[in-house]
Amino acid sequence: MHENDPEWLAFLEEYSQAHPNLFKPKLCRPLLLLDKFVHFGIHGKHMCSVFELMGPNLLDVIQHYEFSDKRMPLWLVKKIARDTLMGLVYLHERCNIIHTDLKP
Known catalytic membership, residue 5: no
| 41 and 70 housed in the same domain | no
Q: Is residue 49 domain-shared with residue 1, that is, in the same domain? A: yes
User: How confident is the model over 16-75, as pLDDT tens digits?
Assistant: 777 766 665 555 566 778 889 999 989 899 988 888 887 788 888 888 888 887 888 898
pLDDT of residue 81: 86
Catalytic residue among 35, 60, 69, 101: 101
Find the domain containing 19 and state its range: 1-53
Same structural domain, 66 and 47: no
Task: Answer whether residue 1 shows pLDDT above 50.
Answer: no
CA torsion, ordered 77, 99, 86, 55, to nearest 10 deg: 60
41 and 14 both lie in a single domain = yes
- pLDDT over 90 percentage in the chain: 6
Domain count for the chain? 2
pLDDT in tens, 73-102: 898 888 888 888 888 887 887 788 888 777
Whether residues 75 and 38 fall in one domain? no
